[in-house]
């Protein structure tokens, strides 16, 4: 079976945040569920946008919609863990970009990789229900210039 493999860009992340794991994030295996990881990267994306005064409905003049997602699970997370999520942007085009998420936690003095993920994001015009061109303000932010 081929596995999802993500390569992260060199350099500093665009954004870093921490998210505590809640009891609702835990599944029957007594660890963070796969659905919770998707929710956690969505929260990290929203926190990143909010740090710039953006929302998914107005990110530097663009609305955003998620076109695809990939998640590679690397380790277990547990109730009470605090995840660190580093967010990177790449593959920035006139209408789309990818966000990469590196999720880890620290326990017993050592960092543990929990998951790596990628969301394919599209600039979207919700009023006309079609893909839109990316505004310069968003492009500069994603490029680390704004």
pLDDT, tens digit (0-9, with 9 covering 90-100), for 46-65: 999 999 999 999 999 999 99
CATH number assigned to the domain comprising residue 41: 3.10.129.10
Instruction: Give me the domain span that covers residue 76.
Output: 15-142
Q: Are 89 and 99 in contact (CB under 8 A)?
A: yes
- Express each pLDDT in 87-113 by its tens digit: 999 999 999 999 999 999 987 677 899
Whether residue 6 is contained in a domain is answered as: no
Q: Which helix (H) or strand (E) holds 139?
A: helix 136-142
Whether residue 102 is contained in a domain is answered as: yes
Whether residue 2 is contained in a domain is answered as: no
Whether residue 124 is contained in a domain is answered as: yes
Whether residue 109 is contained in a domain is answered as: yes
Q: How far is CA 80 from the centre of its chain?
A: 21
**CA–CA separation, 138 and 10 (whole Å):** 21
Whether residue 9 is contained in a domain is answered as: no
Structure tokens at 44: 């990290």
**For the chain, what percent of residues have pLDDT higher than 90?**
86
The tally of domains found in the chain comes to 1
């Amino acid at each position: 079976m081929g596995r999802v493999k993500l390569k992260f860009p060199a350099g500093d992340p665009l954004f870093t945040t921490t998210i505590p794991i809640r009891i609702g994030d835990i599944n029957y295996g007594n660890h963070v569920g796969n659905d919770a990881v998707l929710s956690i990267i969505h929260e990290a994306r929203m926190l990143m946008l909010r740090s710039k005064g953006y929302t998914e409905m107005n990110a530097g003049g663009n609305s955003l919609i998620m076109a695809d997602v990939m998640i590679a699970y690397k380790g277990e997370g547990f109730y009470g863990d605090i995840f660190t999520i580093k967010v990177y942007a790449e593959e920035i085009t006139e209408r789309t970009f990818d966000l990469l998420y590196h999720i880890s936690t620290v326990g017993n003095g050592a960092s543990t990789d929990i998951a790596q993920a990628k969301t394919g994001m599209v600039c979207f015009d919700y009023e006309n229900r079609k893909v839109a061109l990316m505004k310069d303000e968003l492009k500069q932010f994603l490029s680390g210039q704004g």
